[in-house]
């Protein structure tokens, strides 16, 4: 786990010099939602970024747009890499805006079906 | 011995045939006169100018009956075959009809009174075999199917392959017409085959084509015996149509009897060595896959784990270990394997994959995920049944100790050896490990329940929510879970549900051949029916569309089961593969859905069209609970039902 974190940090550092980082761009929530669905992010990460067996949870409270860009350009795990030609930085900024707009779920104590499953 | 029907003079048959010819003539005449006016108004008249008249020879052949003694027969080979079959105490025979086994079909129905086995009608041979697959894993013994010549076996081939990969016993009867001079022109030639089982022999445990009834008797018993000896597997006995239909002259041939062999146990010396390695380990780990067949097997695995207080990783080839047991560390398989110094793999299909990973990148590479010096022990029967062509045997595992023998059979002896090998001085350390694992288990469960809350009110409905709703429905019932490979459900049932009985889940398809879920679930539900268990089938949409006729069989034979459609509208795993390729080529992602998206199919209407109670499509998560409860009432009344849930991808 520690090794994977270090590798990821190294990847992030190696890409931070790229121009037009997503964090410098203004994302659009609705456009981001559409891209998230159209390009198929939702298949593994869920339509509201909730994650699952095939993909990590992305929302609520997503990592920064730059982190997401870095991750998808050179993913360290099983996710396919997406170059800027495949998914540009503006699209990443839009996706980030969409993920940031997703509200957290109610606490477990307010969901009876899950409360009964908690240890 | 059961006697065949008495031979009677077939006057009725002859009269019937004449009556038929007369009726046909009348009907033909009527057809020439009555509908003409209507036809003339709507379409061109393409009928011949004069009616076709049979030739003199043809008329003679049609109207001169053969000698009466060749029109009917008494006891035929197929009656004897049914008598042999009854010795096996097989409950059901699933089949799609076919002329190459018409003799047997009729004998099962009339001579055998359609009991033990009872015939179940299927709309495809793949459904019939997959039903046998699902049934056998629940019942612990095979059910049977009949496959029609070259065509039926080819239809069945994918389901046979799944059963082979999953090491499941199935009794398959093939039909064939070997003697070419006995074949009717046309289809019977196309459906006959010189060596019927050769089509699927690469993934059969055994097959034969007996040439006499005595040979059939011995062959069927040998087939059953082999199918039921671990490693289990599907077997095929091809029955010649002439052998089925030819009358028995004189007395019946002798009938064989079957004795199922005792399963092979692992070498005791190997088990003692394994026990010593586990007892000395600082971090032993137990990995189980296709191990447990009975509750006694699950209890023994619990005993082994508690003797060592070691984590258990269930790879869910079967339900091996209670999901909520604190030593069940399946959700933390990565760190558990990384920390292990001795790993024992019990009936694990892919031991290499337990301690290694292969990256799906341009230049593929593998890396070991366990410590370099971690010892790997394998106990399984798979080495006794490996064929060359199909590669389901997985990568060579490079184990430190391999014991060949049936895992469940060997387990009590392994437990005994471990109990003797664990020094008393280790018990304190074991208890400390247990306390630590209990704490980790509690934290993991809290994490998983929290994860299930994300996307709780989303539409399409989250897969976690679907399974939380279903759990609320079944938690007070004697329930079982069936369905497609649970990875498509992100393993939410295994993560959230308390599973503690071996029959509550029986693993996936084995060969990952799509089309297994629906028919195997019907077979499993059939096996559960007499026990009164509430069977839930989590049904992937792509899987159902391979064999939707399985729903009809469930309706037709009143097999109670609750089918919950995981309607995610596509082949998501394949979609991601195309995404990976498009991303690799930097070609954009606009087109990758082509070939991977299922159109909006109304699964409730599909089920209703076959007479099944169905609700849906359900998109609002708040509507899911009430719909499930309505459908459950139908299932409890003994009928199948379906809920179409528009769900997230995985």
Cα–Cα distance, A20 to A17 (Å, whole number): 9
Task: Kindly report which listed range (A30-44, B17-31, B401-415, B436-450) carries the lowest average pLDDT score.
Answer: B17-31
Mean pLDDT of chain B: 91
**CATH 3.30.230.70 corresponds to the domain B268-442:** no
Distances (CA, A) of B633 to B268, B553, B605, B626: 51, 20, 19, 11
Considering only CB atoms, which chain A residues are within 8 Å of B469? 113
At B586, list the tokens: 């930097």
At B508, list the tokens: 């996936």
Residue spans of alpha helices (H) in B402-456: 407-421, 427-453
pLDDT in the model for residue B55: 65
pLDDT in the model for residue A79: 86
> Is the bond leading into B117 cis (omega within 30 degrees of zero)?
yes
Q: Of A43, A47, A91, A103, which to mutate for an interface test with B (greatest number of B Cβ within 10 Å)? A: A43
pLDDT in tens, B461-483: 999 999 999 999 999 999 999 98
Residues 307-336, chain B, touching A (beta carbon < 8 A) = 335
pLDDT in tens, B43-100: 444 444 555 555 666 565 566 655 555 788 889 999 999 999 999 999 999 999 999 9
Domain limits, chain B? 77-245, 268-442, 453-646
What angle is formed at CA B328 by the lines to CA B326 and CA B329, rounded to 5 degrees? 105
Residues on chain A bordering chain B, Cβ-to-Cβ distance under 8 angstroms: 1, 38-40, 42-44, 46-55, 57, 59-60, 78, 80-83, 85-87, 105-108, 111, 113-114, 116-119
Residue B108 is given by DSSP the state I
Start-to-end CA distance of chain B, whole Å, equals: 56
Cα–Cα distance, B491 to B478 (Å, whole number): 21
Per-residue pLDDT band at B21 (split at 50, 70, 90)? very low
- CB nearest A119 (choices: B335, B446, B584): B446
Q: Do domains B77-245 and B268-442 have the same CATH topology?
A: yes
Q: Of A76, A79, A117, which to mutate for an interface test with B (greatest number of B Cβ within 10 Å)? A: A117
Q: What are the counts of helices (DSSP H) followed by strands (DSSP E) for chain B?
A: 24, 18
3-state secondary structure of A104: coil
Q: Which CATH class is domain B453-646?
A: alpha beta
Per-residue pLDDT band at B610 (split at 50, 70, 90)? very high
At B406, list the tokens: 């049936």
pLDDT in tens, A55-83: 999 999 999 999 999 999 988 877 888 88
Chain B residue whose CA is closest to A75: B361
pLDDT in the model for residue B576: 87
- Residues forming a β-bridge with B564: B538, B643
Calculate the CA B611 to chain-centre distance: 23
Considering only CB atoms, which chain B residues are within 8 Å of A40? 575-576, 579, 589, 592-593
* B451 part of contact set with chain A, CB < 8 Å: yes
On the question of pLDDT at B333 being above 60, the answer is yes
Calculate the CA B577 to chain-centre distance: 26
Task: Specify the pairing of strand B92-95 against strand B118-121.
Answer: parallel
Per-residue pLDDT band at A31 (split at 50, 70, 90)? very high
At B237, list the tokens: 């006995």
Report which secondary-structure segment, H or E, holds B134. Answer: helix B125-139
- Residues B450-456 have a mean pLDDT of 97
Selected from 3.90.1200.10, 3.10.310.30, 3.40.50.970, 3.40.50.300, the CATH number assigned to the domain covering B77-245 reads 3.40.50.970
Cα–Cα distance, B571 to B67 (Å, whole number): 61
Cα–Cα distance, B341 to B373 (Å, whole number): 7
At B225, list the tokens: 């015996």
Phi, psi of B586 (to 5 degrees): 50, 45
Contact (Cβ atoms closer than 8 angstroms) between residue B183 and residue B50: no
Question: What residues contact B39, with CB distance under 8 A and at least 6 apart?
Answer: B45
pLDDT in the model for residue A78: 79
pLDDT in the model for residue B25: 41
> Under an 8 A CB cutoff, do B650 and A52 touch?
yes
On the question of pLDDT at A18 being above 70, the answer is no
Contact (Cβ atoms closer than 8 angstroms) between residue B207 and residue B227: no
> Is the bond leading into B231 cis (omega within 30 degrees of zero)?
yes
Question: How long a stretch of residues is chain B?
Answer: 650
On the question of pLDDT at B3 being above 80, the answer is no
> Under an 8 A CB cutoff, do A80 and B579 touch?
yes
Cα–Cα distance, B91 to B120 (Å, whole number): 10
Phi, psi of B281 (to 5 degrees): -70, 150
pLDDT in tens, B229-287: 999 999 999 999 999 999 998 999 999 999 999 999 999 999 999 999 999 999 999 99
Phi, psi of B344 (to 5 degrees): -105, 125
pLDDT in the model for residue A6: 47
Percentage of chain B lying above the pLDDT 70 cut: 89
Considering only CB atoms, which chain B residues are within 8 Å of A113? 465, 468-469, 471-472
pLDDT in the model for residue B295: 98
pLDDT in the model for residue B66: 59
Residue with the bigger pLDDT between B626 and B19: it is: B626
Nearest CA-CA distance, residue A115 and chain B, Å:
8
Contact (Cβ atoms closer than 8 angstroms) between residue B167 and residue B510: yes
pLDDT in the model for residue B144: 98
Cα–Cα distance, B457 to B436 (Å, whole number): 35
Complete DSSP assignment for B577-643: HHHHHHHHTT--STTTTTTTB-----HHHHHHHTT-EEEEEE--GGGHHHHHHHHHHHHHTT--EEE
pLDDT in the model for residue B23: 40
- Residues A43-59 have a mean pLDDT of 92
> Under an 8 A CB cutoff, do B450 and A108 touch?
yes
Distances (CA, A) of B70 to A107, B73, B104, B396: 80, 7, 19, 60
Tokens 């095939």 correspond to what residue?
Answer: A54
- CB nearest B456 (choices: A40, A49, A106): A106
Cα–Cα distance, B96 to B155 (Å, whole number): 10
């Amino acid at each position: 786990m520690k090794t994977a974190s270090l590798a990821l940090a190294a990847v992030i550092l190696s890409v931070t010099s790229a121009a037009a980082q997503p964090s410098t761009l203004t994302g659009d929530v609705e456009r981001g939602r559409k891209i998230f669905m159209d390009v198929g992010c939702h298949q593994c990460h869920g339509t509201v970024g909730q994650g699952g067996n095939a993909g990590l949870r992305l929302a609520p409270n997503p990592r920064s747009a730059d982190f997401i860009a870095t991750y998808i350009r050179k993913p360290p795990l099983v996710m396919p890499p997406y170059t800027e030609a495949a998914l540009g930085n503006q699209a990443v900024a839009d996706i980030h805006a969409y993920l940031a707009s997703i509200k957290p779920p109610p606490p477990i104590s307010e969901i009876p079906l899950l409360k009964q499953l908690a240890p | 011995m059961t006697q065949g029907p008495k031979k009677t003079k077939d006057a009725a048959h002859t009269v019937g045939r004449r009556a038929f010819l007369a009726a046909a003539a009348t009907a033909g005449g009527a057809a020439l006169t009555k509908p003409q006016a209507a036809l003339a108004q709507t379409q061109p008249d393409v009928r011949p100018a004069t009616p076709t008249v049979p030739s003199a020879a043809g008329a003679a052949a049609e109207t001169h009956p053969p000698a009466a003694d060749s029109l009917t027969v008494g006891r035929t080979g197929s009656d004897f075959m049914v008598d042999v079959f009854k010795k096996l105490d097989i409950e059901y025979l699933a089949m799609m009809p076919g002329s190459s086994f018409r003799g047997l079909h009729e004998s099962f129905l009339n001579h055998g009174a359609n009991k033990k086995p009872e015939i179940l009608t299927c709309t495809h041979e793949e459904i019939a075999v997959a039903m046998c697959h699902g049934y056998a894993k629940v019942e612990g013994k095979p059910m049977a199917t009949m496959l029609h010549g070259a065509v039926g076996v080819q239809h069945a081939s994918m389901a046979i392959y799944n059963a082979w990969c999953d090491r499941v016993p199935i009794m398959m009867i093939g039909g064939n017409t070997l003697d070419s001079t006995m074949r009717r022109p046309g289809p019977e030639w196309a459906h006959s085959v010189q060596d019927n089982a050769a089509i699927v022999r690469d993934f059969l445990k055994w097959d034969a084509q007996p040439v006499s009834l005595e040979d059939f008797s011995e062959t069927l018993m040998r087939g059953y015996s082999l199918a039921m000896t671990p490693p289990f597997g599907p077997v095929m006995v091809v029955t010649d149509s002439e052998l089925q239909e030819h009358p028995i002259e004189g007395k019946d041939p002798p009938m064989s009897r079957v004795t199922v062999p005792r399963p092979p146990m692992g070498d005791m010396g190997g088990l003692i060595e394994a026990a010593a390695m586990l007892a000395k380990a600082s971090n032993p780990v137990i990995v189980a896959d296709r191990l447990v067949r009975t509750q006694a097997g699950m209890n023994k695995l619990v005993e082994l784990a508690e003797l060592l207080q070691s984590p258990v990783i269930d790879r869910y080839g079967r339900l091996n270990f209670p999901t909520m047991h604190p030593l069940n560390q399946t959700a933390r398989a990565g760190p558990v394997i990384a920390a292990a110094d001795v790993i024992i793999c019990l009936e694990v299909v892919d031991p290499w994959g337990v301690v290694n990973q292969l990256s799906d990148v341009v230049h593929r590479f593998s890396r070991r995920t366990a410590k370099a010096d971690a010892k790997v022990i394998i106990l399984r029967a798979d080495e006794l049944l490996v064929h060359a062509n199909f590669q389901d045997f997985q990568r060579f595992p490079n184990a430190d100790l391999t014991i060949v023998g049936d895992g469940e059979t060997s387990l009590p002896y392994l437990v005994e050896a471990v109990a003797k090998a664990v020094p008393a001085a280790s018990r304190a350390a074991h208890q400390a490990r247990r306390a630590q694992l209990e704490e980790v288990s509690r934290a993991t469960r809290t994490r998983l329940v929290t994860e299930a809350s994300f996307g709780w009110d989303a539409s399409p409905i989250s897969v976690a929510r679907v399974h939380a709703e279903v759990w609320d429905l079944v938690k007070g019932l004697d329930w079982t879970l069936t369905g497609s490979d649970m990875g498509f459900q992100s393993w939410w049932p295994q993560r959230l549900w308390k599973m503690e009985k071996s029959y509550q889940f029986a693993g996936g398809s084995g060969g990952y051949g799509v089309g297994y879920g629906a028919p195997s679930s019907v077979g499993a539900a059939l096996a559960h029916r007499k026990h009164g268990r509430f069977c839930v089938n989590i049904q992937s949409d792509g899987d159902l569309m391979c064999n939707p006729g399985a729903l009809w069989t469930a309706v037709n034979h009143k097999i109670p089961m609750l089918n919950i459609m995981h309607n995610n509208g596509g082949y998501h795993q394949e979609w991601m593969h195309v995404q990976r390729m498009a991303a690799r080529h930097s070609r954009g992602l606009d087109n990758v859905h082509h070939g991977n998206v299922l159109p909006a199919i109304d699964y409730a209407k599909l089920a209703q069209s076959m007479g099944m109670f169905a609700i849906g499509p359900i998109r609002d998560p708040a509507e899911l609970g009430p719909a499930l409860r309505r459908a459950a009432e139908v299932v409890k009344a003994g009928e199948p039902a379906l809920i179409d849930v528009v769900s997230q991808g995985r």
